[in-house]
Amino acid sequence: MCGIIGYIGRKPVERVLLTGLHRLEYRGYDSAGVATLNGSGGIHVRRVVGRVRDLERHLQQDPVPGTLGIAHTRWATHGRPSEINAHPHLDASGRLALVHNGIIENHDTIRTFLEGQGITFRSETDTEALVQLIGFLYEQTGDLVESVRRALRDVDGTYGIALLCRDAPETLIAARRGSPLLVGIGEDEYLVSSDGSAIIEHTSQVVYLQDGEIAVLGPAGLTITTTDAVPVEAEVSELEMTLEQIELAGFEHHMLKEIYEQPETLRDTMRGRIDAREGRVKLGGLVTCEREIARARRLLLAGCGTAWHAALVGEYLFEELARVPTEVEYASELRYRNPIIDEGTLALVISQSGETADTLAALREMKTKGATVLGVVNVVGSTIARETDAGVYLRVGPEIGVASTKAFTAQIAVLAMLAVDMGRRRHLSPWQTAEVLAELEAIPEKVEQALKLDEQVQDLARQLVDRDNWLYLGRGVNYPVALEGALKLKEISYIHAEGLPAAEMKHGPIALIDKGMPVVVVAPRDHMHDKIVSNIEEIRSRQGRVIAVTTEGDTRLRGLADAVLEVPATLPILSPLVTTIPLQLLAYHCARLRGHDVDKPRNLAKSVTVE
């Protein structure tokens, strides 16, 4: 939530900041702003309500000079989206400007204290409390970096910040606690950013700041200390991202591009990790936890949103393939419960961004209770990736569309590989193992086939787009797919949709079905097919409109459903990897036909770093 970027170097800063903000916009997009410093000529601030393109228009009329600056794209937490609440925020003297991602929890206390000192606040934000506090301390001490350290020691909550000061026209300061921040090292230049996408065209050399660290950047180089002034050695890493990966490449939206990338991303997720002939899985990131994996008697999986749906698919995979009892929890619930972690419990957290606040808190809670926690994460070097005991990266590249698609299928693929690995150590025979692995390897091609449904799905979307209430039903391992299909439709097309286990329909939700109500039934051929056919009959009797996702060649459903989307056959336990594809496309086309901004749905933002 919220994207921040800072730059110090020789390039005109306005363009660097704007390009960076465009790339960070998926993190929040209700207002945006920049502040630049031009020698001792003072701070130039421009802020607008709306998108980065609105800020860009504003800057065309009223540009900002300089080669040092900071910028922000906001997802409002404290204070409605308005120019006055947009970042950057200034201190009372107007000497300091700051952009912030995160939440200052004790902002009220700080505000009351500072107001008592005669300082007047201008905005409703928590961020202003931080910059005003730094300004107040700077006024007293005259030491900029020490004032930042002292202020950060006094605040509760989370922050990724970038700050500049009129009195230090060759210095950019950045710090983090709980919100992601990295420093890019270019030639005679430094960048600071919430994620790599904003800086990749300048450099791929980065330092991931750790919680409680402050970076001071300028002609003298990069200095990192803790908030207690302890020096820290900068560890330089290579950013695993290319410019190509974050561009649209001819697609109208990132979401569509990412849906279409899935055959390739799934290949990348599995590459080198499966040996079907030998019947072996090799997950390099987990070798340090081999003992815990081998001895696990119970699995506890946690995530949020789409990642939680992947965890639910995981529950079926682990119980069927590994015969290990598995529980799935919303990370947001688990963090405030008192989860039972015993010696045989192995925990797994799933997160695309690796920064989701609830998932991170659940991970920390489980570690406090002594669990070994494995991570299934996409973003390399993210907080969750660093704090888990071991983990498996998804390798799907940056996911920019706010609605998660390629990360979902990769999460399932990783869970499937781990389930097979655990199963092999327990009861799966070599040939059973080989069968599942061979089928997993064949999945990317089947996803390619499933994508060919796109035109049929588009037609269907045209027929159904005006309906405001939908149901999604599935059974067994396809029940989470129904949940995920409904979530996709809700979040980008703003159509109300509910996902249910198909048999639950008759316990209440069937009352919703009336003439023409779309009911998407995920019904591939498996041992529950007959049961789900009965559910379809029940919907038809109430004149609901059935859209069935089934296995290629299923002639039985052709006569029963109003529309049939046929996906290639695979092992039933792996079917979510293909049945989910037409549902992603359906949500996409409905949102597009309704004229919504598919990649930036209202009220949402990628990477939920607030509670």
User: Which of these segments, 69-77, 143-151, 186-194, 300-308, binds ligand F6R (CB under 6 A)?
Assistant: 300-308
Minimum distance between the CB of residue 407 and ligand F6R, rounded to whole angstroms? Answer: 6
Residue 578 in tokens: 């293909």
According to the binding rule CB under 6 A, does residue 359 interact with ligand F6R?
yes
Per annotation, catalytic residue among 257, 406, 490, 606? 606
State the sign of the Cα–Cα–Cα–Cα dihedral 52, 179, 492, 569: positive
Supply the minimum distance, in Å, between the C-beta of residue 304 and ligand F6R: 4
**What SS3 state is found at 549?**
strand
The correct pick among 304, 348, 546, 571 for binding ligand F6R (CB under 6 A) is: 304
- Please pick, among 2, 165, 304, 590, the residue that the annotation labels catalytic: 2
Of the candidate spans 130-138, 299-307, 421-429, 535-543, the one that interacts with ligand F6R by CB under 6 A turns out to be: 299-307
Nearest to 426 by CA among 546, 531, 323, 342: 323
Q: Which is nearer to ligand F6R, 351 or 550 (CB)?
A: 351
For residue 402, the 8-state DSSP code is S
Q: Residue 109 corresponds to which amino acid?
A: T
Q: How far apart are the two ends of the chain, measured CA to CA in Å?
A: 11
Task: Please say if 2 is a catalytic residue.
Answer: yes
With CB under 6 A as the contact rule, the residue among 31, 125, 345, 352 that binds ligand F6R is 352
Q: Of all helices (H) and strands (E), which one includes residue 151? A: helix 144-154
Q: Which of 215, 208, 202, 121 is nearest to 161 (CA)?
A: 215
Rounded CA-CA distance 70/558 in Å is 58
CA distance 457 to 60: 41
Residues 462-491 contacting ligand F6R, CB under 6 A = 487, 491
Give the binding range for ligand F6R (CB under 6 A) out of 49-57, 315-323, 347-355, 473-481: 347-355
* Residue closer to ligand F6R (CB basis): 322 or 522: 522
Nearer to ligand F6R, 85 or 382 (CB): 382
When the beta carbons of 574 and 608 are compared against ligand F6R, the nearer one is 608
Contact between 356 and ligand F6R (CB under 6 A)?
yes
Burial track 127-158 (b if 16+ CB lie within 10 A, e otherwise)? bbbbbbbbbbbbeeeeebbebbbbbbebbebb
* Residue 234, SS3 per DSSP: coil
Q: Is 606 a catalytic residue?
A: yes
Q: Which residue number, 9 or 305, has a Cβ lying nearer to ligand F6R?
A: 305
Q: How far is the CB of 432 from ligand F6R (least distance, A)?
A: 31
Helix, coil or strand: residue 96: strand
Please give the residues from 551 up to 610 whose contact with ligand F6R meets the rule CB under 6 A.
607-608
CB of 67 to ligand F6R, least distance (A): 34
Taking contact as CB under 6 A, which single stretch among the options 108-116, 267-275, 301-309, 312-320 is the one that binds ligand F6R? 301-309
In the sheet that holds 326-330, the strands lie side by side as 326-330, 298-303, 345-351, 372-377, 390-393
Of 353 and 551, CB closest to ligand F6R: 353
Residue 305, interface with ligand F6R (CB under 6 A)? yes
Cis bond leading into 88, ω under 30°? yes
| CB nearer to ligand F6R: pick between 137 and 608 | 608
Q: Which helix (H) or strand (E) holds 348?
A: strand 345-351
C-alpha to C-alpha distance for 429 and 452, rounded to whole angstroms: 35
Query: Minimal distance in Å, beta carbon 378 to ligand F6R?
Result: 8
Using CB under 6 A as the binding rule, the residues of this chain from 490 to 519 that contact ligand F6R are: 491
Would you call 55 helix, strand, or coil by DSSP?
A: helix
Closest by Cα among 43, 73, 42, 46 to 59 = 46
Binding mask 524-543 for ligand F6R (x = CB under 6 A): --------------------
Q: Which residue has the tokens 């006569």?
A: 559
Q: How far apart are CA 49 and CA 83, in angstroms?
A: 5
Among 307, 311, 357, 510, binds ligand F6R (CB under 6 A): 307
404 touches ligand F6R (CB under 6 A): yes
- Interface with ligand F6R (CB under 6 A), residue from 67, 269, 326, 353: 353
Q: Tell me whether residue 5 or residue 487 sits nearer to ligand F6R (CB atom).
A: 487
d(CA 527, CA 573): 11
Q: How many residues of this chain interact with ligand F6R, rule: CB under 6 A? A: 15
Q: Which is nearer to ligand F6R, 67 or 388 (CB)?
A: 388
Contact criterion met (CB below 8 Å) for 283 and 392 = yes
Question: What secondary structure does DSSP assign to 425-465, as a single string?
Answer: HHT--HHHHHHHHHHHHHHHHHHHHHHTTHHHHHHHHHHHT
Q: How far is the CB of 495 from ligand F6R (least distance, A)?
A: 15
Q: Are 516 and 534 in contact (CB under 8 A)?
A: no
- Answer whether 469's CB lies under 8 Å from 601's CB: no
Specify the residue, 2 or 13, whose C-beta has the smaller distance to ligand F6R: 2
Contacts with ligand F6R by CB under 6 A lie at 304-307, 351-353, 356, 359, 403-404, 487, 491, 607-608
Residues labelled as active-site residues: 2, 606
